[in-house]
Chains A and B, each alone.
Chain A
């Protein structure tokens, strides 16, 4: 039973560039959430996708956007990269109708470094 998978594992970009991160949810899950974890900090919620639509997003600018595909996989896009975007980006999946207490399952993350 495959868990949450993210690609790539590491990525190095320069300021001003654009990046796309990918996530495949755990088998049977239909909801994907994205988090940004800066060095030494806890993860911060970016947004969540369900039924190919974005739900309420966290306090992140419009440079952060995403997409969910019919197979429930998701992409996180960041435009006009800033040095402050350097972080570990975590993807978590869950089942929307799984009940209130079912946990989100996290992937290993993508480490994004901005030079």
Chain B
């Protein structure tokens, strides 16, 4: 069974600094998708960034980038120039496109605090 592990329950970063959130996963599949979702206190799960496993190039979305290490099954999120609005729970997630039910498997999350 696929699993997603986030080993950092909480992290803090100074505003305007850079922070990296860690994630590892386990799967026997070769083709899959990885995601980072942000969940602010408003509760809505917001997609931050997405990586397709067959693509070697790391995904980037403005201040957000990932370090995807397929052999190590590692998928970390780097947030540059941290802003107060980045404070939230961040979930690493996995999806296997071959699964008919399209379910997403989430880690337990990392709570990110931004210090002014």
Contacts and interface: CB of A to CB of B under 8 A. Distances in A.
Interface of A: 31, 33, 35, 40-45, 47-48, 55-58, 88, 90, 92, 94, 100-101, 103-104, 106-109, 111
A64 to B, nearest CB: 14
A58 B100 CA distance: 13
Contacts, number: 66
A84 B7 CA distance: 25
Contact of B108 (A42, A45, A101): A42
B56 interface: no
B100 A56 contact: yes
Nearest to B92: A42
Nearest to B106: A42
B108 A103 contact: no
A49 B45 CA distance: 19
B19 interface: no
B33 interface: yes
Given A42-B91, A43-B45, A55 B100 contact: yes
